[in-house]
Every structure is written in C-alpha cells, then in structure tokens.
C-alpha cells in the first residue's frame, strides 16, 4: 500500500500497530468483550489506521476466494475489526446465512447456529450469549458482520499482512466432512412458503417451481407468486390441464416473463394479465445431479426449497396409496414408473425410521417435502419421502440467483422456450454466437446461457459491431470461468462493452463440458408444446473450432440459448 509523502512516517507506525493487532487477534480468540481504549489518543490511532486502510485497497482471501473493499465492501471498523457484508457470508464460509427482519443474521453450519442482532454487544451461539463488541453493524442499506467472530466460530485462522493490506483466512479443518446437520426443516427457520392447493388442474409443476422460488426469497421477501401467470404466459403451447415440467419454469423465468404476484393474477379464475411485469429477475438456476442427496440437502440449507418429483397414483389430499402411510405422513415408491408429480424438498431427517413407511426401504432417512394439495394433506401439507424412493431427487432445481428488477435495463434473447434440446459436434466443446440489433445507447454487461452438465468451462466474447460471420474472428474476451452445476447462469463481464444504437452486435460463448457430445442448449420445435417456436426472432451461428461457422437457424432449425443483458448509457456516461 502506498501513502502520500506527508503521511509516510505515520503510515509505517500505523502499519506496525495494525500488524500487531491482527497478529494477536487473528490466531487466538476468546469469548470476551474486546478491551476499550484507555484514552482519546488510542481511539484516534484506531480511526486513523482504519481510515488509511479503507482508503487503499483492502483485500480478504478466504480459502482461495478474494473479496476487496472496492468490489465487495469489506472494511475495517473504528475498533479495527474487519467487517464483511452479510451477503458474502454464505459463499465465503461455505455455510447457510440468512438475514431476517430488524437486522437479525442467522448463520448455520453443521449443528452450530450463530444469531447476530445489529446494535448489540453480543451474539448467540447455540442459545448461549457470547460477548463481543459490535458483532453486526448496520452500514448503508445493509449489514456487516465481524470476520473475527465468524472465523472463530466456524473454524478458520486469520493472518494479516500489513504491507499489502491483506487478510488471509484458512479453514482449520482440511477434511471436516459435511457442513450439514443431520436434520433440517425450513419451516422452523421461517423459510418455508405458504402451502397451496392446485385443485383439479395439472399445474403441480408451476406450483412446485414458484414454491421453491418463494422459499429462496425468504426470509427477507415474502409474497405469493402467481401460478396462473406462469401457466398462461409462457411460450409453450399448453393448457392448464396438460401439466408441465421444470424446464418450462426455467424458460419463463429466464426470459423475464415473470414472476408476478398472486394478488395481481389470481389462480383458477380463467383469465390472466399478460401486461404484468416481473417482480424480480431470476438470474441463476442450478440443476442438481440425480440422487446426489448431499448436494440436494446443501441446496436447501443454503438457498431454499428444491423442486423435485415423485410418482404417485393419488390425485389429491383425499387420495390413498399403498405407498403412502397416512398415519406417519411417509411415502416411498419402489417401482419402475416415471415421475408424474412435482413437490418441493424443504428439509430432511437422516434418522427418519424406515419402519414408518408402508413398504420397507433399504434404510432410514427421508426428505421433508411440501406438496400442492392444500393443508389437508399430510402434516399441514408436508410429508416425508424416503431417500430410497425411486424418483425423488432425480430431477432437481434450485434458485440460486434472484435479483431486483433494476439489475439490468435490457435483455436480448431469441430462446423463449429455453432448453428444449442440445447440439454439438460429438465433442466436449462448441462455440455459439447470437446476433442482435442494438435498440438504444447501451453497454453489454452480462450474458446468460445454460450448461447441460456439471463442471462446464466457459468463455464469453463480444463483437461490438457485427458485419458478418467473418467479424466473429475479432471477438473480445469479456468473461471466463467454470460452472459447477448444470442449469441457467448469468455471467457478468469484466468490463461493460459499449454498443452503438442501430448496429448489430454478437455475443459468442464457448462451452466445454466433460464427456459431452452436445454441450450447447438449443430451442427448437420438438413436440406439440414447442410447435410455435419462432426461428425468425434470432440470428445464431455455431462452430466446432471458432473459425468456421454454420447458421443454426437455416441449417439446424434452432435458436441458441444465449442471452445478453445490457445497461443504458446515460448522458454523463455508462450506468
């Protein structure tokens, strides 16, 4: 870190004091209140150190992930505590972290629960009060939590480098196993939505999708979302009685066709309002691989309800089945029938006895599932499905990125039905390019696309002025990385790219999916439900090597599932 000349000598002294402070506090913690300064001079020193560090570049490394004051909002407070925004805690410390009303942050990992309340001089660990000076602070429109407390309680060590203004945090448990408790119930955390009733209609897919989405918005944002709107304002050719699947919900949400609130488009009244605008933007949806029970639980723990499915002969709350023990609210199907009903996983119990099922599964353990047959079914609308059920956990969707509607100003797309099929060159990698015409003074800020399997590497490029397939060779790299899960993802660009009104531009995405033969998601007329796919609303190209390109619409009769998000350029500059 460099200081102005007039502060050079002072900076050396301040840096030394800061080094000593973090050397002693970073490696040894205790449940005691931090000592107060003995006079105004010490307070002045602390403020000066904090101000100097915060004005420079302050860097936090946690097990290989980097967070900075400039990009992520980490900072030193007046007591020289490093603070991190509450929204970073989940990813930084691999845990569950959710902010409740009145500035209450709940952090969970394994069997431990930490409860922070803004403005208090203590936090609660597993019901026990632990003294600490300002563990949670309200800052601006959000909250920041003490790094020292999180590191201590979650099993991490801290090391401060005053020369580079960097804090390195490492887990003390290299092989600690699962981060999950043996039992979990979103109802007990205020993160399970209201139970609903689909009635006689084939809308379980939409109820499950929106229940899972509502759960991901809790506890911070409550509200019933409209099944009618999702069911009647998607781009598929289907009626209320026809049923659907989770990929239809993904397409509707990724296209910003919704969601809207139930109060604005009530269920079952036979009408809808297509002019309603979405109340949030879904930017990331993860598909969890089949029967990966640990990953399903982790998704519930971190994000909320997971949409999944079962096979059942029951048609509603009054039905019965040889696979369902109504006295124990326990269900297990062991046959070969494919799933026909969507539910939402909202918890689990590893010790749920196998003897409570009407058939005897291979072992104990069950998922806690929320149904859409009203509160008269099961335990107030909730029931247990054995880990060994033939279908639960095969098809799984969780909402991992939901943002406000002002996150981007524009969306360019041609794949309103989303991931209908896949294409490729019988190899793991493929290039895809979509071309759009700029409809205002804008900058391209992010791209959206599907990954068809886990551990997919990607590169995203922009061609600001597309003049033909030859211009795809002058593409500019704007983002790259790897995505652990299949699903729909939004990738922000390293820097926005200015687009000129009226020009054509192209977004190019390179995907490499291990063991894949067709890694690119496409939209095409595959069946009756997708028969109205419009191939005239897009211009797309595919390539095996990024040099020779084929027209996807003309040669393969499909649209590529690649979107671009833009922000308006104001008179004073880019937003």
**pLDDT values of the chain reduced to their tens digit, one per residue, 575 residues:** 333 333 343 444 445 444 444 443 433 333 333 334 444 555 666 677 778 778 888 999 998 899 999 999 999 888 878 899 999 999 999 999 999 998 999 999 999 999 999 999 999 999 999 999 889 999 888 999 999 999 999 999 999 888 888 999 999 886 778 999 999 999 999 999 999 999 999 999 999 999 999 999 999 998 999 999 999 999 998 776 778 899 999 999 999 999 999 999 999 898 999 999 999 999 999 999 999 999 999 999 999 999 999 999 998 898 899 999 999 999 999 999 999 999 999 999 999 999 999 999 999 999 999 999 999 999 999 999 999 999 999 999 999 999 999 999 999 999 999 999 999 999 999 999 999 999 999 999 999 999 999 999 999 999 999 999 999 999 999 999 999 999 999 999 999 999 999 999 999 999 999 999 999 999 999 998 999 899 888 899 999 999 999 999 999 999 999 999 999 998 544 44
Q: What was the pLDDT predicted at 242?
A: 75
Q: What was the pLDDT predicted at 280?
A: 98
Question: Residue 97's beta-bridge partner residues?
Answer: 107
Closest among 284, 192, 278, 196 to 230, alpha carbons compared? 278
Question: Residue 369's beta-bridge partner residues?
Answer: 345, 383
Strands 166-171 and 59-62: parallel
Q: Going edge to edge, which strands form the sheet with 520-523?
A: 421-423, 520-523, 559-560
Q: Are 489 and 454 in contact (CB under 8 A)?
A: no
Return the structure tokens found at 72.
């992520």
Q: How far apart are CA 224 and CA 126, in angstroms?
A: 32
Give yes or no for a cis peptide into 118 (omega within 30° of 0).
no
Q: What was the pLDDT predicted at 17?
A: 44
Q: How far apart are CA 566 and CA 357, in angstroms?
A: 52
The residue assigned the tokens 């002002």 is: 406
Q: How far apart are CA 486 and CA 450, in angstroms?
A: 7
Q: What was the pLDDT predicted at 133?
A: 85
Closest among 421, 425, 419, 420 to 517, alpha carbons compared? 425
| DSSP H or E stretch at residue 227 | helix 227-232
Q: Are 341 and 311 in contact (CB under 8 A)?
A: yes
In the chain, the N- to C-terminal Cα span, in Å, equals: 29
Return the structure tokens found at 246.
């989770």
Q: What was the pLDDT predicted at 129?
A: 96
Q: What was the pLDDT predicted at 59?
A: 92
H helices present in 271-331, as ranges:
293-302
CA diameter of the chain: 82
Q: How far apart are CA 457 and CA 516, in angstroms?
A: 12
């Amino acid at each position: 870190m460099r200081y102005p000349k007039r502060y050079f000598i002072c900076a050396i002294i301040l840096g030394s004091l800061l080094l000593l402070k973090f050397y002693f506090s970073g490696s040894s913690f205790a449940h005691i209140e931090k000592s107060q300064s003995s006079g105004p001079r010490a307070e002045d020193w602390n403020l000066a150190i904090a101000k100097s560090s915060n004005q420079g570049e302050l860097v936090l490394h946690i097990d290989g992930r980097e967070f900075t004051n400039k990009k992520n909002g980490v900072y030193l407070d007046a007591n020289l505590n490093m603070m991190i925004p509450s929204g970073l805690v989940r990813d930084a410390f691999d845990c569950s972290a959710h902010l409740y009303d009145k500035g209450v942050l709940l952090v969970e990992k394994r069997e431990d629960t930490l409860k922070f309340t803004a403005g208090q001089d203590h936090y609660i660990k597993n019901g026990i009060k632990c003294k600490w000076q300002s563990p949670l602070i309200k800052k601006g429109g959000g909250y920041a939590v003490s790094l020292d407390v999180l590191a201590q309680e979650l099993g991490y060590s801290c090391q401060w480098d005053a020369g580079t203004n960097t804090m390195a945090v490492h887990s003390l448990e290299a092989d600690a196993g699962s981060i999950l408790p043996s039992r979990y119930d979103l109802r007990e955390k205020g993160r399970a939505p209201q139970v609903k009733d689909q009635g006689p209609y084939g809308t379980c897919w939409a109820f499950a999708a929106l229940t899972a989405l509502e759960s991901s918005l809790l506890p911070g944002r409550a509200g019933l979302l409209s099944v009618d709107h999702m069911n009647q304002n998607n781009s598929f050719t289907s009626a209320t009685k026809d049923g659907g699947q989770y990929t239809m919900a993904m397409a509707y949400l990724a296209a910003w066709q919704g969601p809207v609130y139930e109060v604005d488009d009530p269920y079952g009244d036979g009408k809808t309002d297509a002019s309603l605008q979405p109340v949030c933007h879904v930017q990331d949806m993860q598909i969890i691989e089949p029967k990966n029970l640990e990953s399903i639980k982790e998704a519930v723990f971190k994000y909320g309800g997971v949409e999944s499915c079962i096979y059942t002969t029951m048609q509603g709350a009054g039905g019965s089945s040889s696979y369902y023990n109504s006295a124990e609210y326990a269900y297990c199907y062991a046959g070969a029938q494919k799933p026909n009903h969507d539910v939402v996983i909202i918890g689990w119990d590893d010790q749920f006895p196998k003897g409570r099922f009407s058939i005897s599964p291979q072992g104990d353990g069950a998922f806690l599932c929320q149904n859409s047959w009203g509160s008269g079914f099961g335990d107030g609308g909730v029931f247990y499905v054995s880990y060994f059920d033939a279908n639960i956990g095969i098809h799984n969707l969780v909402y991992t990125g939901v943002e406000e509607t002002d996150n981007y100003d524009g969306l360019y797309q041609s794949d309103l039905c989303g991931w209908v099929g896949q294409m490729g060159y019988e190899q793991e990698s493929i290039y895809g390019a979509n071309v759009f015409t700029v409809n205002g003074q804008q900058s391209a800020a992010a791209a959206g696309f599907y990954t068809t399997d886990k551990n997919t590497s990607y590169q995203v490029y922009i061609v600001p002025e597309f003049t033909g397939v030859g211009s795809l060779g002058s593409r500019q790299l704007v983002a790259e990385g790897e995505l652990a899960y299949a699903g729909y993802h939004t990738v922000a660009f390293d820097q926005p790219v200015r687009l000129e009104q009226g020009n054509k531009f192209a977004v190019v995405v390179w995907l490499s999916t291990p063991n894949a033969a067709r890694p690119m998601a496409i939209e095409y007329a595959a069946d009756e439900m997708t028969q109205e796919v419009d191939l005239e609303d897009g211009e797309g190209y595919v390539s095996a090597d990024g040099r020779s390109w084929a027209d996807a619409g003309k040669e393969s009769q499909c649209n590529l599932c690649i979107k671009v998000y833009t922000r308006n350029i104001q008179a004073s500059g880019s937003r």
